Structure 1
């Protein structure tokens, strides 16, 4: 089978031939039809101490199962987060991380919706918005952000604002249901909001916190780090909430599954429409990474082996 690999930090991505892996206990062997590119993996390629397996969201058909697997059988369609080599024709997926792809959805829909949608859904849950409140989403054109905009609208937000790096993305963000779209460098992000869902971090935390109304909540779910000043929280009684999807997946599998089912329900009724920036061939993985590095994507970036 074909697999994407690299040999040194920041080095080029290249295709290699590798044996098809054997599923171990609790694992599914999946023939990949779509692979979702995630920002954390892109960052690790350029920043990690050494080469790592290129994992991410995968979707496709189960071709074999390991010992102890009870929920899935060969020929079923699944999606889930792969922690090993996912940029490949075949990948291993642990049963606990897998979910079925319903009729009416294809593999690209699945990788664009499930993991990114779970992060967006969970961040919104952490913010606990009341219907009618205003919600601001940073990186609003990203794989997670474009779903967060739609989810905020579906949950009854009175006003939804998206922030982007490039004003050329504004039309796309408004098409998702945002009332307004502002650029990070703008002097003001408009009227104060009740909730900010921040996927960027770093220096953007300061203006994100400033965008909050009194008693506002900022949910930080970025891998970009950053700090806030305690005084900025005291003024206006604002709060910052950290959110990580892995904590829910490991500690609250019941909640994880409930959110997953709700995402598919919203998809089926048309309230949630995942957007895909492009479907890249496996050999074009480097180009797919470049799109995310340049923050040029409108929606999810996907590899289609």
Structure 2
């Protein structure tokens, strides 16, 4: 089979031929139909350092597997080599792809959607509140915009790296009332909560945009610092959200969120957008789309 290989962090990506992996206890061998490209993976360029979302058909099951069989279509997180024709999934973190949904839908919706929905839940929104979503055109952000609206946000502001690449029109089409670029001096009227996917220097203007008592949910791997004084003067708060903790410690909540995402998808209330579908040999181009911040929605590899 084909697999993407790299020699070192930040090094070039290239294809190699390797044997198809063999299932171990509790594992599924999946013929990959779609593989999600995420910013944390792009930043590290080390598979297994970050989970890789993928979807496809089960072609073999390991000892002890009871929930799936050959021919089932599944999605889940690969903690090994995911940029490949075949990959291994642990049965415990795999889930079925519903009839009427494609593997691309699953990859674009499930992992990114879980992060978006989890971050929104952490903000504890109430109907009528105003929301700010940074990284609003990204794989997670474009779903967060829609979810905030579905939870009754009275106004949604989408913040993006640039108003170019068609991002402003794209984010408005998702339901945002306003779209601002990160370098804008003013991000509009205050909001009650903000979901931040970027971190770094953006934390300061995001906090400044909050109303007194507002909440910022930080779920980015980009780091950054918030001044305590900026929180104190407005009785504002910062909440950290990590999807991995939910997956490990609260599996029932994780499953409930996943069911909610598929329900919203079936109802047409949540529309995952795919920026591009890249072949394995074009993995470097997929990474460039993420690094250049030019993507509108999810970036996907199609083995």
Is residue 113 from structure 1 mapped to residue 126 from structure 2 by the alignment? Answer: no
Q: Which runs of 4+ in 1 moved over 3 A?
A: 51-55
Match of 2:70 among 70, 74, 93: 74
The Cα shift of 1:52 comes to 4.1
**SS, match of residue 223 in structure 1:** coil
Matched, 1:165 2:166: no
Structure 1 residue 102: Cα displacement: 0.1
Residues paired across the two proteins, number: 300
Give the equivalent residue in structure 1 for 2:92: 96
Q: Indicate the residue corresponding to 1:271 in structure 2.
A: 269
Q: Which whole-Å CA distance do the structure 2 matches of 1:70 and 1:21 have between them?
A: 20
Residue 69 of structure 1: how far off its partner (Å)? 1.1
Mapping of residues 222-261 of structure 1, within 5 Å: 222-261=220-259
Partners of 2:73 and 2:97 within 8 A in 1? yes
Mapped to 2, the partners of 1:166 and 1:102 lie a distance apart of 36
Separation in 2, partners of 1:228, 1:52: 31
Pairwise CA distance, 1:196:
0.3
Task: Report the counterpart of residue 62 of structure 1 in structure 2.
Answer: 58
Partner of 1:212: 210
**Alpha-carbon deviation of 1:130?**
0.5
Cα distance in 2 between the residues matched to 1:62 and 1:115: 19
Q: CA deviation at 1:55?
A: 5.0
Q: What is the aligned partner in structure 2 of residue 48 from structure 1?
A: none
Inter-partner Cα distance in structure 2 for 1:166 and 1:229: 26
Aligned-residue offset at 1:97: 1.2
**Matched-pair contact (CA < 8 Å) for 1:291–1:297:** yes
Quote the Cα distance in structure 2 between the aligned partners of 1:52 and 1:172. 31
Q: Is the 8 Å Cα contact of residues 153 and 160 (structure 1) preserved in structure 2? A: yes
Match of 2:3 in 1: 3
CA distance in 2, matches of 1:52, 1:242: 25
The CA deviation string for residues 222-267 of structure 1, in whole angstroms up to 9 with x for no partner, is: 0001111111110110000000000000000000000000000000
Match of 2:289 in 1: 291
Match of 1:281 among 267, 279, 282: 279
Which blocks of at least 5 consecutive residues in structure 2 are unaligned? Answer: none
Instruction: Work out which of the residue numbers 123, 127, 131 in structure 1 matches 2:123.
Output: 127
Q: Which residue of 2 aligns with 1:176?
A: 174
Alpha-carbon contact 1:55-1:87 (below 8 Å) kept:
no
Question: Hey, what does 2:83 align to over in structure 1?
Answer: 87
Instruction: Point out where structure 1 has 5 or more consecutive residues left out of the alignment.
Output: 46-50
2:186 to 188, 196, 204: 188
Q: Is the 8 A contact 1:55 1:85 kept in 2?
A: no
Aligned to 2:135: 139
Give the TM-score taking structure 2 as reference length.
0.98
1:67 Cα deviation after fit: 1.3
